[in-house]
């Protein structure tokens, strides 16, 4: 295969990856939101009912952060393993398209690899409580 055959795929991959990175970067993190809420709390008058409500909200958010940080993890090994399945599926489809003929039968194992890999990546990348072996609890 020539580079010209791979160029559109690489451009699409880089574009999608960049979009995902930018989308995640724009969302404020939980600690940043709590920090902004604490700054807003300092600006409210002492006798305000909103100050008490906001203080209770900040207290609950901080508790969730502290309790959830230690318990929720991603399974990085599982993510890498299942991403290799997705890469294998894409490779098999590219070979089938390039060679033609009976090589189109490679789309069957590619479909199986994709159907196994895609949901598994989503499951392993999600923040969850996990046991010592990395399995979801």
Enter the pTM of the model.
Answer: 0.48
Give the span between the Cα atoms of 17 and 38, in whole angstroms: 34
- pLDDT single digits (tens) 84-105: 888 889 998 988 888 888 888 9
Report angle CA 70, 19, 9 to the nearest 5 degrees.
115
- Residues of the chain with pLDDT > 90: what percent? 4
Across 38-109, the runs of DSSP E, i.e. the strands, are 72-73
pLDDT bracket for residue 25 (50, 70, 90)? low
pLDDT at 107 over 70: yes
b/e 42-59 (16+ beta carbons within 10 angstroms → b): eeeeeeeeebeebeeebe
Are 86 and 113 in contact by the 8 Å Cβ rule? The answer is yes
pLDDT value of residue 68:
64
- Compute the mean pLDDT over every residue in the chain, rounded to the nearest whole number: 81
pLDDT at 26 over 60: no
Q: Which residue has the tokens 């390039």?
A: 98
Beta bridge partners of 136: 130
- pLDDT single digits (tens) 40-98: 888 888 888 888 898 898 898 888 877 766 666 777 777 888 888 888 899 989 888 88
Give the span between the Cα atoms of 64 and 125, in whole angstroms: 20
89 burial type by CB count under 10 A (0-12 exposed, 13-18 middle, 19+ buried) = buried
Greatest alpha-carbon pair distance for the chain in Å reads 79
């Amino acid at each position: 295969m020539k580079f010209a055959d791979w160029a559109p795929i690489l451009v699409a991959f880089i574009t999608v990856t960049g979009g995902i990175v930018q989308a995640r970067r724009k969302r404020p993190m939980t600690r940043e939101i709590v920090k902004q809420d604490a700054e807003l709390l300092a600006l409210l008058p002492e006798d305000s009912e909103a100050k008490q409500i906001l203080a209770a909200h900040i207290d609950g958010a901080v508790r969730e952060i502290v309790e959830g940080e230690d318990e929720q993890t991603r399974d990085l090994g599982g993510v890498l393993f299942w991403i290799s399945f997705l890469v294998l599926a894409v490779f098999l489809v590219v070979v089938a398209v390039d060679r033609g003929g009976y090589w189109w039968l490679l789309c069957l194992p590619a479909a199986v690899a994709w159907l196994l890999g895609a949901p598994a990546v989503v499951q392993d990348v999600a923040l969850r409580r996990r046991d010592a072996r990395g399995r979801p609890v």
